[in-house]
Structure 1
Amino acid sequence: MYQETKLTLQATQPRRVLTLFLLTVPLVCLGCSRGGDDIKLAPVSGVVTMDGKPLTNAIVIFSPQKGNPSSGRTDSSGNYTLTYRDQLKGAVPGSHGITIITAPPESPRQSEDSGVAEVIPVDTFANSDQGVPKLKLPKDTFKKDPIPERYNSKSELKKEVVEGKNKFDFELQSK
């Protein structure tokens, strides 16, 4: 009788594992789903100038107190439009810290005057320890940024993004 019970348990164990697996997989997939449909974004655009002239090829980053940042690249007229992750246009409503940095050169396949914001991938800022390959950067990458620190690494710029259209112009001074 003991052997019969043992055989019955061994025969049902694979079914239990399969049942558990089939119940768990949909829950895991549901938890990993994009879920971005409930994110409310407000359109944000504007013009960046330095010393009264349009600032070309700068990255404008809006960082909310909670959530992911939005960013946009300025065109030759200094215009930018923010893009959130997954190429969604806009920024999360609320208070944002603003950082403006000089962008790396655009690749040849991008148009300088496209007026379309470029998202900086989060992976750009990750360590190579996390499985992200190291970036090969041009020699002059770490030269002094022509945009003063008070607008980037030590920025105290803040803006409130509200529902509806938001237009924020930034008039930077080099001195």
Structure 2
Amino acid sequence: MRRTTQAARFLSLILVCAFIAGCGSDTGLVKVKGKVTLNGQPLEGATVEFQPTAADGSPSSGQTDANGRYELMYAFDTPGAMPGEHIVTIRTAGTFFDDEGNEIERQERVPAKYNTRSELTRTVEHGSNTINFEL
């Protein structure tokens, strides 16, 4: 009986350790940043979206700054993207909000082959990625 109790405790301890290790904070996401230029000039205010080609993948996106630089976010406060092949869209059209919360409608400045009919694909590798786009 005592041997069975010790074995049960040992098995329980192993299961708890496996659960804790499996539920860690490692999301599997990797850092992706880069720069977007249009006709040789930094593209400010563009949305860059990486959509994994894998059926179970979720997209990551980022906004370009005044220098055309972006960093992908998987969720509001979670930086990164899933490793693997992605279809990339880059667009400037849409409704945005300025620093005071005013709604701004922007027209599309990026050719359709980079957004609504995107031909862009990129592979996100494990580790840190710098992926630039010269449109």
Check whether TM > 0.5. yes
Residue matched to 1:47: 35
CA distance in 2, matches of 1:68, 1:80: 18
- Aligned positions of 1:2-21 closer than 5 A: none
* TM-score between the two structures when normalised by the length of structure 2: 0.72
Matches of 2:29 and 2:117, distance apart in 1: 26
State how far apart, in whole Å, the 1-side matches of 2:92 and 2:74 are.
19
Kept in 2: contact 1:61–1:100 (CA 8 A):
yes
Unaligned runs of 5+ in 2: 1-22
1:147 aligns with 2:110: yes
Query: What is the aligned residue count?
Result: 109
Q: What pairs with 1:113-124 in structure 2 (closer than 5 Å)?
A: none
Q: Which runs of 5+ in 1 are unaligned?
A: 1-34, 111-136
Residue aligning to 2:96: 105
> Do the aligned residues in 2 keep the contact of 1:68 with 1:85 (CA within 8 Å)?
no
Shift of 1:105: 3.4
CA distance in 1, matches of 2:126, 2:114: 25
How far off is 1:109 after superposition?
4.8
- Confirm or deny that 1:90 pairs with 2:53: no
- Decide which structure has greater strand share: 2
Root-mean-square deviation over aligned CA pairs: 2.2
Aligned to 1:150, the other structure's residue is in SS state: helix
User: Which is worse superposed, 79-88 or 101-110?
Assistant: 101-110
Do the aligned partners of residues 109 and 45 (structure 1) sit closer, same or farther apart at CA in structure 2, a change above 3 Å counting? Answer: farther
Identify the match of residue 78 of structure 1 among 53, 57, 68: 68
Structure 1 stretches of 4+ with a deviation exceeding 6 A read none
Mapped contact 1:82–1:90 kept (Cα < 8 A): yes
Shift of 1:100: 0.3
Displacement, 1:102?
0.5
Q: Separation in 1 of the partners of 2:24 and 2:46?
A: 27
Larger Rg: 1
The CA distance in 2 between the partners of 1:47 and 1:162, in whole Å, is 17
Q: Secondary structure at the match of 2:113?
A: helix
Which SS does the other structure have where 1:84 is aligned?
strand
- The 3 A distance-change label for structure 1 pair 36 and 79 is farther
Percent identity, please. 42
